[in-house]
Amino acid sequence: MHANRLAVALGAVLTIGGLGASLTGQLAAVPRPEHPRPDLVRADWQTLNGPWQFEFDDQDRGLSEGWHSGDRSFSRTIVVPYAFQSKLSGIGDPAFHDVVWYKRTFDVPPAWTGRRVLLNFGAVDYEAVVWVNGERVASHRGGHVGFAVDVTDRVKPSGNVVVVRVLDPGTDRTIPRGKQYWRPKSEGIFYTRTTGLWQPVWIEAAGAVRVARLRITPDVDRSQTVLAIDIDRATTATSADGVSGPALRVRAIATFAGVEQASVDQAIQGGRATVVLSLPDQRLWSPGSPNLYDLRLELMSGTNVLDRVDSYFGQRKVSLRDGKFYLNNAPYYLRLVLDQGYWPDSLLTPPNDEAIQYDIRMTKAFGLNGARKHQKVEDPRWLYWADRLGLLVWGEMANAYDYSPEYVDRFLSEWQEVVARDYNHPSIVTWVPINESWGVPQALTDPVQQAHLKTVYQITKSLDPMRPVVDNDGWEHTDQTDLMTLHDYARTGDLLERK
C-alpha cells in the first residue's frame, strides 16, 4: 500500500442526532441568539433571528407581482432560523412548496454611523435572492453555506425592509441535498426536506477596509501558525475611511488563557497579507486536550483601527503513515460516530447551543473521539463546539443522487465554498466530498463519473493540502484517494477477508 493511503474498515456504527434536545428547556425569546460564526467575530453585530413574515408562492407569481418591493404584507409568520417544515418554525408543514418568501424590518444602530453594514445569511436552501428597501442586493445558489453582502448604500437609520425569495425544487435529484427526501413522505434513510433560511441571519458593522477572509494553517513541526488574510475595500470608501493616508498594516495577536503568545505588526501589500506567528511552548490541540488560542486581527492606518476581527485556532497536525492515522505525529485510533445531524423539532437546524453541546458531550461519554458528519455540512456553531470540547470531525458534503452536467456545476461550486468556510476548524481532520457513490451511481464502470471523483479529490487537495481526502467514502474508489474506506453492512467481517 502507498505510504499515504490508509485502509479503514467501517463496520456497524452508532447513529445519533439531537440527543437530549428535548431536555434543554425552553428556547430563548430570540432563538439562537449567540454569534453564528465564532471563528470570525466583529464586536458590533445584531441578530435578525426571530419572527419574519412568510409566504408560500406555489404559483410562482411573486416576482411578477412585485413582492420584492417590500410593500406587500405576507400572510404567515415564521421563526427564523427554522425551516417551515420544522415544528420550531411555527409552521410545521412538510408538503412541497418550492418557492417561498421572507420579509422583516431592521434598524441600524446609531453607533454604526460611518461604518459599513454587512448583511449575513448562515445558509439558505437552495437558491436565494435578497432585496433591501426594494433594491436587489444579492443572490446565492447552494443550500449549505452562507453569504454576506455590504448593504451600507441601501440602508437608512431605521425601518429597513429585507425581502428574500427562495427557490428549492423539492424533487430535483441533481441538487446536493443529502438525506432530504424528494418524495412526499419521509421513509427509510431519507428525511423531511429543509427549505429556505435554516441558519441564523445577522447584521454587523465593519470598516470600509476590512478583513474579508481569514485562512489559518497550523504548522506543528515549526511551532508556528500561518495566517492568510484577504482584504476588501468598499468601492464607495473615501479618504475619511482610511483608504488613503498612512500605509495599511495588519496587527495579529495570539493569546492563550489570556496571556499573549505572539504578536506581529506588518505592512499589507495589495489585497492580501501573510502573517507567521511563532508560538514558543506551543499547546497542541487534541480530543483529550482541546487547547485553543484566541486570535485578534486589526487593520491599521497610522494609529487608526479600521477593522477588528476576533477568531481562534488550534495547533494540530494530521498525517498518514505506514497504514496508520497520525494526530500530532503520534498514531491515533479513530472511533467515530455516524452523526446525521437532524433534530426532531428543527430538522437540520440545531435547536440551540445546549443541544449541540449535549450531543458532543454524549458522543465522548460513549467512548468515541469523533464524528463523521453524514450527508450534511454542519452549522458553524456545531463545529465551534467540536473545536472547544475536543471532537474529531470528518467533514462531508451533502450529496446529490443523480449525475448530470448541471449536478457537476452545482456540486463543485458549493463544495469549494464548504472547504473555504470550514478550513480553520482544528476539529476537522478529513474531507469526505462524496459518500457511497451518491451522485455518481455508475462510478464502478463509467469513466466520466470516475473522472468526476478524481477531479473532486484533486480540487479538494488543491484547496487544503493538510487534510486527508476520501474520494468516495465506503464504496468504489479510484486511484485518487488518501484513505481506502469500506462500509461493511454485513457486520460479519467477511469483506475484510476478501481479496
**Distance (Å, whole) CA 230 – CA 245:** 20
Q: Which domains does the chain have, with CATH numbers?
A: 6-16+322-497 (3.20.20.80), 31-206 (2.60.120.260), 209-313 (2.60.40.10)
**Peptide bond connecting 290 to the previous residue in cis, omega within 30 degrees of 0:** no
Picking from 12, 49, 5, 13, the residue whose alpha carbon sits closest to that of residue 28 is: 49
CA 341 to chain centre: 13
Q: What pLDDT score was predicted for residue 205?
A: 98
Contact 477, 455 (CB under 8 A): no
pLDDT per residue, tens digit, the chain (499 aa), is 333 333 333 332 333 333 333 333 334 489 999 999 999 999 999 999 999 999 999 999 999 999 999 999 999 999 999 999 999 999 999 999 999 999 999 999 999 999 999 999 999 999 999 999 999 999 999 999 999 999 999 999 999 999 999 999 999 999 999 999 999 988 999 999 999 999 999 999 999 999 999 999 999 999 999 999 999 987 655 554 555 556 899 999 999 999 999 999 999 988 899 999 999 999 999 999 999 999 999 999 999 999 999 999 999 999 999 999 999 999 999 999 999 999 999 999 999 999 999 999 999 999 999 999 999 999 999 999 999 999 999 999 999 999 999 999 999 999 999 999 999 999 999 999 999 999 999 999 999 999 999 999 999 999 999 999 999 999 999 999 999 999 988 877 776 777 5
Q: What is residue 35's predicted lDDT score, i.e. its pLDDT? A: 97
Q: How many residues does the chain have?
A: 499
The beta-strand segments (E) located in 269-327 are: 272-278, 293-301, 304-313, 318-321, 324-327
Please, are residues 283 and 262 in contact by the beta-carbon 8 Å criterion? no
Q: Which amino acid is at 225?
A: T
Q: Which three cell numbers stand for residue 2?
A: 502507498
Enter the C-alpha cell of residue 222. Answer: 515549526
The residue written with cell numbers 498518514 in the block is: 320
Beta strand 272-278 pairing with 259-267: unpaired
* Ramachandran angles phi, psi of 358, nearest 5°: -60, -45
What pTM was estimated for this model as a whole? Answer: 0.92
**C-alpha span between 86 and 6 (Å, rounded):** 40
Please provide the DSSP assignment of 6-61 as one string: EEEEE-S--EESSTTGGGS-SPPSSSS-S-S-TTSB-SSEEE--EEEEEEE-TT--
pLDDT at position 243: 53
CA angle, 185 then 16 then 319, to 5°: 120
Query: Which residue's C-alpha cell is 467533514?
Result: 395
Burial of 330 (0-12, 13-18, 19+ CB in 10 A): exposed
> What is the spatial distance between Cα 223 and Cα 101, in angstroms, rounded to a whole number?
50
Q: What is the pLDDT of residue 488?
A: 87
pLDDT at 101: 98
